[in-house]
A and B are shown apart, each in its own frame.
Chain A
Amino acid sequence: MNLAEKIKRKIEEAELYRNQGLINEALDIYRAVDDMIRKNSRIKNRDSLLSKISARIDILRKNTQNLKTPGQAPELSDQARDLIREMFSFDDPHVKGSSSLGGAVSLAEFGQYEQARQELESLFDYDHLRMEAAKNILQYGIRHLPPKELTLVYQQWQADERFSADEIKHLGEILEQVLNDAGRNADAGEPAEPEPAPAASEARDEGLYDEEILDISVIGVPLPTGSRAGEKVELDVNFQSGRQINLVLSKGQKEIINSLETGGRIAGVIFYSPVAIFSGTVYVSAKKEIGSGPKQGDYTVDLKILHIESG
């Protein structure tokens, strides 16, 4: 394939990705094409091509920036709100009015805070729902209102006769806790909360791979030595027992076999499992030529997973 055809094919590929909404993928291809053209001064209409591609890259770059910064949750139609109230609230059938509370909380979970707040405030008249409604206003409020404004909301309740002194005191403690938590998150440099906000009870599920090594089908190994050093090769796993992995490499894969030296540690290995992809470090514990049978002359390589990073 000559260069012109290659460029044409690449542009078609980039356009397909763009049409599919795969902006980053399209951008990568356009950048590669740009590079290809810049390196070759004999291309006809080189400057015009470069300018067209550069314009495409600019548009795509702007699109990726828009994707990276999700905006506020949009104002939903009544139909969509009704659906959220109906489908995402999990009510207690034994508590009268819990469906209204559940519906309002669902709206808050989907970023419809102002509407949710109005509906929660309308529940203040019911003794058994008042505190729960107020708590949710504070807990979801911190994701939508500045701390000062949320404090103002609480201060208005202090003047509201429907709340008892004990209730106000308890809500004050909740507000303090909510503000402290938000402060801690800000100190830790957590990114701005995308919409909708995660559920309050959400906790990061860590340690999955510390507890158990999932079944690994394929590993991606950056070759540590040799003429192909640094190149990542994907190798099928022949057998796995916990952290021990066995590979069978055909005699034709000489460069890979030589690169995997017994006793060597290899970082940046990617482990592909049907339910996860994760990375880590392996130790080459054994390498042996198969002496007999149909795979005679091939090599068997044992690797031990030393360290797992998150996926």
Chain B
Amino acid sequence: MATVNLKNRESECKIVYYGPGRCGKTTNLEYIHRTFKKQVRGEMISIDTDGDRTLFFDFLPIGLGQIKGCEIKVQLYTVPGQVQYRSTRQLVLKGVDGIVFVADSLKVRREKNMESLKDLHENLKKAGLNILRTPLVMQYNKRDLEKTEMPVMSVEQMERDLNRQLRVPSFPASAVTGQGVGATLTQTLKKTLKYLHKEFQWAQE
């Protein structure tokens, strides 16, 4: 849950990048770390295995400056995508304010995307949150592979698989090239801040 300091007019919220293993969550954060230098408030911390897979989480603190007189700080996290790290995902989800669901556009990962979305749904439920009410944005990653001859799902199919009922904003993206990364984050922040504003009324005009 976001912390709001009314006296100092400061708010800190938590955004979690969720999705199946190897879908590009860490790559999203790495791109943000490299590109949005002005907003980045500290080092990116990654706890990964030898094989470059996220073991616990990645963490990147960013700042948005002042919005309506309130200083906004944001903690960006990723979860480990591999199935066996479910309890770590539950820990990282504690106190989440907004979520980016990163889905893999490769056809062979279709079921993994759906399983991961189900896992998110269940873990949010355990944390007392409802997936339909939590600020959520979809990102269809690895769109750069469309240009190759690799079997990639169409955006329409991914919308149908993952977003037919949730109907949340979605972005085609390529975390390796940066396409769609900023747009995904911006939309997530907008949705999250709007939600928090409603919840806390922290920025009364």
Greatest chain B CB density within 10 A among A21, A76, A80, A87 is at A87
Q: Is the CB of B165 within 8 A of A17?
A: no
Q: Is the CB of B87 within 8 A of A70?
A: no
Q: Is the CB of B165 within 8 A of A205?
A: no
Q: Is the CB of B87 within 8 A of A197?
A: yes
Which residues of chain B come closer than 8 Å to A12, judged between CB atoms? 149
A-B pair number, CB within 8 angstroms: 110
A188 at the A/B interface (Cβ < 8 Å)?
A: no
Which residues of chain B come closer than 8 Å to A286, judged between CB atoms? none
Q: Is the CB of B56 within 8 A of A110?
A: yes
Q: Which residue of A lies closest to B163 (CB)?
A: A274
**Chain B 136-176 near chain A by CB (<8 Å), digits 1 or 0:** 00000000010011110000000011111110000000000
Interface residues in A188-225 by Cβ distance below 8 A to B read 194-199, 202, 205, 208, 215, 217-218
Q: Is the CB of B82 within 8 A of A199?
A: no
B72 at the A/B interface (Cβ < 8 Å)?
A: no
Which residues of chain A come closer than 8 Å to B108, judged between CB atoms? 17, 22, 25
A83 at the A/B interface (Cβ < 8 Å)?
A: yes
CA distance A197 to B151 in the complex (A): 37
Given contacts A274-B117, A274-B161, contact A198 B87 (CB under 8 A): yes
CA distance A259 to B162 in the complex (A): 29
Which residues of chain A come closer than 8 Å to B82, judged between CB atoms? 67
**Chain A 262-305 near chain B by CB (<8 Å), digits 1 or 0:** 00000000001111110000000000000000000000000000
CA distance A72 to B68 in the complex (A): 47
CA distance A61 to B94 in the complex (A): 35
Q: Which residue of B lies closest to A198 (CB)?
A: B87
CB distance from A241 to the nearest CB of B (A): 15
A88 at the A/B interface (Cβ < 8 Å)?
A: yes
Which residues of chain A come closer than 8 Å to B75, judged between CB atoms? 87
Which residues of chain B come closer than 8 Å to A20, judged between CB atoms? 22, 106
Which residues of chain B come closer than 8 Å to A13, judged between CB atoms? 150-151
**Chain B 99-138 near chain A by CB (<8 Å), digits 1 or 0:** 0000000101101001101101110011000010000000
Give which listed residue, B43, B91, B114, contacts A199 with CB less than 8 A: B91
Range for the number of chain A residues in contact with chain B = 35 or more
Give which listed residue, A63, A66, A70, A273, contacts B165 with CB less than 8 A: A273
Which residues of chain B come closer than 8 Å to A196, judged between CB atoms? 56, 87-88, 91
Chain B interface residue count, Cβ-Cβ cutoff 8 angstroms: 49
B84 at the A/B interface (Cβ < 8 Å)?
A: yes
Given contacts A13-B150, A199-B90, contact A80 B122 (CB under 8 A): no
Interface residues in B48-66 by Cβ distance below 8 A to A read 49, 51-53, 55-56, 59
Given contacts A110-B56, A274-B117, contact A202 B91 (CB under 8 A): no
Interface residues in A73-94 by Cβ distance below 8 A to B read 73-74, 76, 79-80, 83, 87-88, 90
Which residues of chain B come closer than 8 Å to A17, judged between CB atoms? 106, 108
Which residues of chain A come closer than 8 Å to B95, judged between CB atoms? 90
Which residues of chain A come closer than 8 Å to B55, judged between CB atoms? 73-74, 195
Interface residues in B65-104 by Cβ distance below 8 A to A read 75, 82, 84-88, 90-91, 94-95
CB distance from A91 to the nearest CB of B (A): 12
Give which listed residue, A63, A83, A197, A275, contacts B45 with CB less than 8 A: A83
Which residues of chain A come closer than 8 Å to B148, judged between CB atoms? 16
CB distance from B118 to the nearest CB of A (A): 4
Q: Is the CB of B115 within 8 A of A277?
A: yes
CA distance A274 to B149 in the complex (A): 27
A311 at the A/B interface (Cβ < 8 Å)?
A: yes
Q: Is the CB of A194 within 8 A of B87?
A: yes
CA distance A20 to B22 in the complex (A): 7
Q: Which residue of A lies closest to B166 (CB)?
A: A274
Q: Is the CB of A80 within 8 A of B47?
A: yes
Q: Is the CB of B51 within 8 A of A21?
A: yes
Given contacts A22-B22, A109-B91, A276-B118, 10 further A-B contacts (CB under 8 A): A16-B148, A21-B52, A25-B106, A63-B51, A76-B47, A80-B47, A205-B122, A217-B165, A274-B166, A275-B165
Which residues from chain A sit less than 8 Å from chain B, CB to CB?
9, 12-13, 16-17, 20-22, 25, 63, 66-67, 70, 73-74, 76, 79-80, 83, 87-88, 90, 109-110, 194-199, 202, 205, 208, 215, 217-218, 272-277, 311
Which residues from chain B sit less than 8 Å from chain A, CB to CB?
21-22, 43, 45, 47, 49, 51-53, 55-56, 59, 75, 82, 84-88, 90-91, 94-95, 106, 108-109, 111, 114-115, 117-118, 120-122, 125-126, 131, 145, 148-151, 160-166
